């Protein structure tokens, strides 16, 4: 239900009025998949792949549907193969990050999250920095060469007063064996968002 359900009818209309609208078929495939009509979704995706096989939208939606069907590793490989031949959009980097998370491929996830976080023109730049910092805390990568520290400190500087940023800083300080700094950061995160469970839990730990 929700927005995908509402999107199906106008997308059907658009693709009926313009049968060669490959991007519309790709959007329709994803909406149908979201509402559980997998057969119709596959038909629309097949049309999208025939009409617009080489656009990021078709590749991304095909990959997400493949991952949702249980093949995140294959979906990730398909996206990376496409990226090797074309300029990559922020949307496809986001798709790669999601697929890499599902597939447990840290190298690919870092690559995608790094691109998103360092794209200064992206509207989601500040949020992408938080996601990159969270990735380093979760994976344990990037500590020895400063990548993780750069991500955490830049995320905090770009998101001043943000509860998630302060929570990430608290976790980082704790990992660096700075309990006083960690406590201060987590208390600040709680003050910024008193009903956010995570900084309470991290402070308790």
Q: State how far the Cα of 19 lies from the Cα of 71, in Å rounded to an integer.
A: 30
Q: State how far the Cα of 193 lies from the Cα of 196, in Å rounded to an integer.
A: 5
- With contact defined as beta carbons under 8 Å apart, do 36 and 16 qualify? no
pTM given for the model: 0.83
Model confidence at 2: pLDDT above 80: no
Model confidence at 60: pLDDT above 60: yes
At residue 7, the pLDDT reads 86
Of 96, 119, 92, 91, the residue nearest 108 (C-alpha): 96
């Amino acid at each position: 239900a929700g927005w995908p359900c509402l999107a199906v009818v106008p997308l059907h209309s658009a693709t009926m009025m313009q049968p060669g609208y490959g991007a519309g078929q790709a959007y329709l495939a994803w909406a149908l998949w979201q509402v559980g009509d997998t057969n119709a979704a596959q038909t629309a995706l097949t049309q999208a792949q025939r009409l617009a096989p080489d656009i990021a939208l078709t590749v991304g939606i095909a990959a997400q549907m493949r991952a949702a069907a249980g093949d995140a590793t294959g979906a990730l490989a398909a996206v990376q193969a496409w990226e090797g031949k074309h300029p990559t959009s922020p949307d496809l980097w986001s798709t790669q990050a999601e697929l890499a998370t599902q597939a447990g491929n840290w190298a690919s996830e870092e690559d995608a999250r790094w691109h998103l976080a360092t794209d200064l023109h992206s509207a989601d730049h500040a949020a992408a920095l938080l996601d990159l910092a969270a990735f380093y805390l979760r994976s344990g990568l990037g500590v020895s060469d400063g990548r993780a520290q750069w991500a955490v400190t830049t995320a905090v500087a770009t998101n001043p007063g943000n509860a998630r940023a302060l929570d990430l800083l608290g976790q980082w300080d704790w990992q660096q064996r700075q309990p006083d700094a960690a406590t201060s950061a987590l208390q600040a995160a709680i003050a910024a968002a008193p009903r956010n469970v995570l900084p309470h839990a991290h402070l308790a730990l």
